[in-house]
Each structure stands twice: as C-alpha cells, then as structure tokens.
Amino acid sequence: MKVDYAVRALLELADARGSATKQSAEIAERWNIPAPYLDQLLTALRKAGLVSSVRGPQGGHMLARPASSITVNQVFEALEGPLSPIDCLDDSVRCSFSRACAIQDLWSEVQTAVSGVLSSVSIADLASRQAAMSRPAMYYI
C-alpha cells in the first residue's frame, strides 16, 4: 500500500499545473489515504528528491522535477529500498548455495523483469492514463 499511496499522491501533484502546490489533506481526502500516513510518505519522497514542500498557510507539495522524469521504480526504491524478492539477491555472500542455485536465477529474472516494467513507466505516463479514464465518453450520432 505504501507505494500505491505514494504513486496516487504523485499523480495528484502531477495534475497540479505549473508551480501550484497541493496540500496533503486535500490529496488524502481525494484518494482516501490516512492523512498522517500520507505525510510520512511525502516526507520520504521529499528526502528522495521527488517532491518539494512549501511551508505556511499557502504552502503544500509539488513535484520536485517533471513527472516524465519520475519513474514508478524510483518511487518504489525511495520507500522500500531496492527491489529484491529474496535476500540472497542483495547479499549472495550470505548464501552458501548462490554459486549454483536455479532458484536464485529464477528470482533474479523476476527482479529484472519487474524492475524493467516499473522503470519504463513514469508518473506522467500514469497521469495520462488516469486523465483518459476520467474523461466522459463522447458519443457521435
């Protein structure tokens, strides 16, 4: 849920045009995310350089860079660390079977595939998809 909530928040920020900020309470209400939890996520995203924050009554949050340059994989890694389905992919020294392990090879392939998909999708891509889904259907007679 952590990454899902964060991506939803980033979609909301991508929807804010120009340098406009959005307050976390507004984002939390729209996406039904617990506000204190969203604040924690936005703090982590700010530390990762994905979000900027402005304090004060007119403050809020905005994307720190263009939505097209923020991938879902970057969001995942900012919140969860490197994608690794099993521990031995991060630290093969701890595993005595790592030199000849078909299971490790399988999980390595899974890691590569998932990371590739998440790296190929930007927040801008998702915002475009979201906008297309939100448009009312046009019927021509």
Q: Where are the domains of the chain?
A: 2-134
CATH 1.10.10.10 fits 2-134, yes or no: yes
Read off the tokens for 81.
């660390």
CA distance 92 to 80: 20
CA distance 45 to 108: 27
Q: For 17-32, what is each residue's pLDDT tens digit?
A: 666 889 999 999 999 9
Q: Which residues pair with 60 in a beta bridge?
A: 54
Nearest to 13 by CA among 55, 42, 40, 56: 42
Do residues 74 and 48 touch, judged by C-beta distance below 8 A?
yes
Question: What's CA 82's distance to the chain center, in Å?
Answer: 13
Q: How much is the average pLDDT of 112-130?
A: 92
SS3 content of the chain, % helix, strand, coil (to 5): 60, 10, 30
- pTM (whole model) above 0.75: yes
94: pLDDT strictly greater than 70: no
95: pLDDT strictly greater than 80: no
Q: Which residues pair with 62 in a beta bridge?
A: 52
Radius of gyration of the chain (CA): 19
Do residues 49 and 70 touch, judged by C-beta distance below 8 A?
no
